[in-house]
Amino acid sequence: MDASTKLELQKTACRIRMGVIEGTFHAKSGHPGGSLSIADDLAYLYWKEMRVDPANPAWPDRDRFVLSKGHCVPALYAALALKGYFPWDEIKSLRHTGALLQGHPDMKHIPGIDMSTGSLGQGISAACGMALAGKLDQKDYRVYSILGDGEIEEGQVWEAAMFAAHYKLDNLCVIVDNNGLQIDGPVADVMSPYPIGDKFAAFGWHVITVDGHDFDQLEAAFHEAKTIQGKPVVLVQKSVKGKGVSFMENQVSWHGSAPNAEQYEIAMAELKAALAQLDAQ
């Protein structure tokens, strides 16, 4: 990846992170930790990878994105707002009564949301259905879905994993965001999902391991994914929960709590400084 493209993606990811802090602060609730860990994925997917048209969110030939770990939607809302699906200011009323942006993705009302999710383990099944529809209609759109590493403790994920491999859904690309933490603690302690890659491989998937914050690796992984035929692809990505905000990084307590005014100022100052540094490059 050339330096200028990478720089732009880094800036975009930084803006997505600012949206996460903005949204959860104004909501006084939400899930900043896991939202921050997928900001780089969303920057890459929406700015480099996916065929989408913000002016035509229901375009039948678009690539689909299903946020199976739906609680991390603050990051997705920020990405969609930056893409122009809806005004950035909507983020400031995230989770407010009567507002557009619901606490979890709502495909009925929010432009750019391809599937309503939030109950863990369900998004991947819907993604399978979309991928199957693409095969049936002989369309070339692809379906992307991000799952949490805690989420894959849900049995339905493995029903879906079996299904995707059985029907050879090579137009499906799943990312498992292995930030290592879930609400009750480290995933290894709560209910170990490890080894993640070996499990998917045993279910018949093509497995790619990747650093979820390295755009060169993400680019190589998504390119490789498109070359795989006859199998669904999973990117098992090592990531940092709370990435980009110093006091949130690798802290399980930031799974599901919002920053207060003081924390908001510190977090935004850090992200603004990071963005200024990128702008100066």
Partner 1 sequence: MSELKKIATRESYGNALAELAPKYPDLVVLDADLAAATKTGIFKKSCPERFFDCGIAEANMMGVAAGLAAAGKTVFASSFAMFAAGRAFEVVRNSIGYPHLNVKIGATHAGISVGEDGATHQCCEDFALMQAIPGMVVISPADDVEARAAVEAAINYKGPVYLRFGRLAVPVFNDPKTYHFEMGKGVTLRNGSDLTIIATGLMVWEAVLAAEELAKEGISARVINIHTIKPLDRELVVKAAKETGKILTVEEHNVIGGLGSAVCSVVAEEAPCKVRKLGIQDVFGMSGPAAELLDKFGLTAKNIVVQAKELLG
263 C-beta neighbours (distance < 10 Å), count: 18
- Decide if residue 122 touches partner 1 (CB under 8 A): yes
Closest distance to partner 1 from the beta carbon of 234 (Å):
16
- Decide if residue 204 touches partner 1 (CB under 8 A): no
Q: Which of 99, 100, 133, 278 binds partner 1 (CB under 8 A)?
A: 133
Nearer to partner 1, 162 or 202 (CB): 162
Contacts of 222 (CB under 8 A, 6+ apart): 44, 45, 48, 49, 173, 235
- Decide if residue 98 touches partner 1 (CB under 8 A): no
- Decide if residue 125 touches partner 1 (CB under 8 A): yes
Query: Under a CB-based contact definition with an 8 Å cutoff, are residues 172 and 127 in contact?
Result: yes
186 strand-pairing partners: 181
281 C-beta neighbours (distance < 10 Å), count: 10
Closest distance to partner 1 from the beta carbon of 137 (Å):
8
| Size (the chain), residues | 281
Query: Under a CB-based contact definition with an 8 Å cutoff, are residues 181 and 187 in contact?
Result: yes
Rg (C-alpha) for the chain, rounded Å, is: 17
207 strand-pairing partners: 234
Nearer to partner 1, 73 or 245 (CB): 73
Q: Which of 50, 75, 76, 160 binds partner 1 (CB under 8 A)?
A: 160
Closest distance to partner 1 from the beta carbon of 21 (Å):
28
Query: Under a CB-based contact definition with an 8 Å cutoff, are residues 42 and 76 in contact?
Result: yes
- Decide if residue 56 touches partner 1 (CB under 8 A): no
Number of residues that bind partner 1 (CB under 8 A): 36
Closest distance to partner 1 from the beta carbon of 118 (Å):
7
Residues binding partner 1 (CB under 8 A):
60, 64, 66, 106-108, 114-119, 121-134, 136-137, 155-156, 159-160, 162-163, 166-167
